Structure 1
Amino acid sequence: MATESPFSQSVDRTQSNSIKWQKYQGQDILPMWIADSDFKVPEAITDALHCHVDHGVFGYGSAPAHLTQLLVDRMARLYQWHIEPDWIVYLPGLVCGINLSVRATTQTNGGVLCPTPIYPPFKQAVKLGERSYQPLPITLNDQRWLLALQDDAVTPDSQLLLFCNPLNPGGTVYRRHELEAVCDFAEKHDLVVCSDEIHSDLILDPNCQHIPFASIREQAAQRSITLIAPSKTFNIAGLGASMAIIPNPTLRRAFVKAKAGIVPDVNVLAYTAAEAAYEHGQVWLDEQLALLRQHKQKLEETINALPYLTLHPIEGTYLAWIDASELPVASPFKFFEQAGVGVSPGADFGNPQFVRLNFACHTDTLNEALRRITEAVHALAQQQAQA
């Protein structure tokens, strides 16, 4: 008897202590905001967790040597990036890695160059670290959102450049020459680059390939902190297992020092899940990518056929950055919410005229969301025509 695909199953998450689904509990609003998926994880992860739970002891743990080797082998196989085991610093989440990068590489009131619009914890990390926030605009170039490397944004206090590839929001997967330009900019201004690459496994455009920033040349590696995790890829964000890869020993020591006594170790179940994901999750990941590519195509076609809305091609991530600047409403976020679709407000990222929609969901959920959006936009267009 054939096993039902985890991607054809509709999973009820309303009683699972899910932040995503609790937000609109009791309301007829589809939660398509925070970046976790609605898919059951690979069976190998569940089996590994069951095995650990059945053992019945949950004491302190350390990073399994096998997990470290899986990560080393994975970087070499996927990206021809040959890393050393001692470059890896394990973290209980990627956001703390952003905060540690800010505190380890800059002084109080030091300058941090930060893309905008961008994933909110980037800007929050600068504020929490009491550093100087120095925005670099993300601009549209031939339907792709790219970081504008502006020399006049740099000051004598600038020490760190926060970077995101694939881009959240926007979905850009940076090409090699674009990464080389980032490295040239960092060398010119003597900047450390913290590269958030958590969505690196979620490449949807078949013409794109993820390239780790640190892999492009030795000068990039020596001024880089690369942040990765299996959490978005395999839907295990709630367990908390992330990694910083830091080739430069001086940078790595500063990062570890900033972490000491404040950031806890990764818990044993998170290590178990990460190990199972990287060792046995590829078939599941391939199936997920096939579905996400279908969802991306349907989303782009539907949104771009509507008045007022624009969605530029999504190269990576499962997050659609929808331009609603032509909508004749005060708040695009509230418009979507009133239509019954709960998205992330663009204001949180730096542009209130956009919304971000998570399409890592059951196909029926996406279809219903698109139906609601289409109905609401057409009703608004009719009202405008009659006004």
Structure 2
Amino acid sequence: MTFNFDHWVDRSHTDSVKWHKYRDKDVIPLWVADTDFTSPPCVISALQARVAEGVFGYGFAPPALISLVVARLRERYDWTIKPEWIVWLPGLVCGLNLAVRTCTTPEERSILPSPLYPPFMQAALSEGRRYLAVPAQNVDNRWVTDFKTCESSLEGNEKLLMLCNPYNPGGTVYRREELQAQLDFAQRHDLFVCSDEIHCDLILEPGCEHIPFASLNEDAAQRSITLMSPSKTFNLAGLGASMAIIPNDRLRHKFAHTARGIVPHVNVLAYVAATAAYAEGDSWLQAQLEYLRGNRDLAFARINAMPGLTLLPMEGTYLGWIDASAAELDSPYRFFLAAGVGLSDGRDFGNPQFVRINLGCQRALLEKALDRMAAALAAR
């Protein structure tokens, strides 16, 4: 089957958060992390069939979905899990908050890389908690955090290491030795590890592979909470089907208890979409990856040719992290917004001299946005 990722769906006057932000304005929205691609046909067909039943009562995770997840992790990532390790969630962000509340008290700290997807910091600050941010560095054109550099800043009350792989923002796909260094750090300081791996299926660079942190060894598994979802992979974010995979029985029970009465169950349509995507969506996924590689290569060439901007190679995700510090702009976000391009403000991620760009859109729209950015910089 041929999939057309150039097909345009007008979301400008729908309930799309991404497009509503700049409704009735001449601004191209390349910010929040959903794509403008039509979801896989198998997902749409499965949802249409389920809607035709006409009853939407409480549901549970279908055994077929659980089997698909177990098989997928074994076949794609060489990670063997047990079905009972899975805790289903209506979104990954609530998983971040549950991980913080499960693994720390208000008097204890989390450790996380910086910059980082803003909900990490928001979760780490819940109920008066604090966190230690460890700057990522450009190492051989990859954004990498060496947690050894923060050891002199530790207070002894750190309990949770929060990771993001592939890295958002920046697109780094961690190598095994880098994950092992993260595990060594967690072992030295007796830390739990929450690893956000929501972009694990979106590996763009040939030769790179996603390695789940928990798959390193039994110690890594027993101290870990791994967050995954089909949402970014298959553009299902608005449906809300995510999972926490927690091998440690005691940790998993505490996590589930923390969610009780606060976090709602996953809705039945989300389960239907996830099942269809995992069962029949991989040919669509491969076509999407090829299209995203084309967008990435276009953005990399164009942005690095613009004065004052630098975009490091993206190994995974569809989210580019643009360094605008050499352009000497008061606010890169506001500058490009005035030019008609709505990017994510780096201030929210931890560095106001950066902006994040979402490349999950039709190529013609991306080209138009890049043209606007180049013209604005040339006209200064």
Band the TM-score falls in, shorter-chain normalisation: over 0.9
Shift of 1:139: 1.4
Q: Does structure 1 conserve the Cα–Cα contact (< 8 Å) formed by 2:336 and 2:342?
A: yes
Cα deviation, 1:15-72, whole Å, max 9, x if unaligned, reads 2200000011111110000000000000110111011100000000011111000000
Shift of 1:6: 3.5
- Three-state SS of the structure 1 residue aligned to 2:200 is coil
> Counterparts of 1:5 and 1:111 in 2: how far apart (Å)?
46
Aligned to 1:93: 91
Give TM-score scaled by structure 1 length: 0.96
Aligned to 2:220: 220
Aligned to 1:59: 57
Aligned to 1:25: 23
> Counterparts of 1:363 and 1:11 in 2: how far apart (Å)?
13
Q: Does structure 2 conserve the Cα–Cα contact (< 8 Å) formed by 1:135 and 1:153?
A: no
Give TM-score scaled by structure 2 length: 0.98
Aligned partner of 1:315: which letter?
E
* 1:357 is aligned to 2:362: no
Aligned to 1:83: 81
Given candidates 10, 14, 17, the residue that maps to 1:16 is 14
Cα deviation, 1:149-199, whole Å, max 9, x if unaligned, reads 121232211000110000000110000000000000000000000000000
Q: How does 1:1-387 map to 2 (within 5 A)?
A: 5-149=3-147, 150-380=150-380
> Counterparts of 1:153 and 1:360 in 2: how far apart (Å)?
38
> Counterparts of 2:361 and 2:369 in 1: how far apart (Å)?
11
- Three-state SS of the structure 1 residue aligned to 2:325 is coil
Aligned partner of 1:257: which letter?
H
Query: Aligned in 2, Cα 1:337/1:248: closer, same or farther, shift over 3 Å?
Result: same
Shift of 1:130: 2.3
Segments of 4+ moved more than 4 angstroms: none
Q: Structure 2 unaligned runs (5+)?
A: none
- Three-state SS of the structure 1 residue aligned to 2:110 is strand
Aligned partner of 1:354: which letter?
F
Q: Does structure 2 conserve the Cα–Cα contact (< 8 Å) formed by 1:171 and 1:315?
A: yes
Cα deviation, 1:342-382, whole Å, max 9, x if unaligned, reads 000000000000000001000110110111111111112xx
> Counterparts of 1:331 and 1:63 in 2: how far apart (Å)?
45
Q: Does structure 2 conserve the Cα–Cα contact (< 8 Å) formed by 1:309 and 1:324?
A: yes
- When the two chains are superposed, the root-mean-square deviation of aligned CA atoms in Å is 1.0
Q: Does structure 2 conserve the Cα–Cα contact (< 8 Å) formed by 1:99 and 1:129?
A: no
Q: Structure 1 unaligned runs (5+)?
A: 381-387
Q: Does structure 1 conserve the Cα–Cα contact (< 8 Å) formed by 2:3 and 2:284?
A: no
- Three-state SS of the structure 2 residue aligned to 1:357 is strand
Q: Does structure 1 conserve the Cα–Cα contact (< 8 Å) formed by 2:229 and 2:243?
A: yes
> Counterparts of 1:56 and 1:194 in 2: how far apart (Å)?
38
- Three-state SS of the structure 2 residue aligned to 1:316 is coil
Shift of 1:132: 1.8
> Counterparts of 2:346 and 2:187 in 1: how far apart (Å)?
32
Shift of 1:4: 6.8
- Three-state SS of the structure 2 residue aligned to 1:34 is coil
- Three-state SS of the structure 2 residue aligned to 1:302 is helix
Q: Does structure 2 conserve the Cα–Cα contact (< 8 Å) formed by 1:331 and 1:352?
A: yes
Q: Percent identity?
A: 54
Deviates most, 147-156 or 224-233: 147-156
Shift of 1:131: 1.5
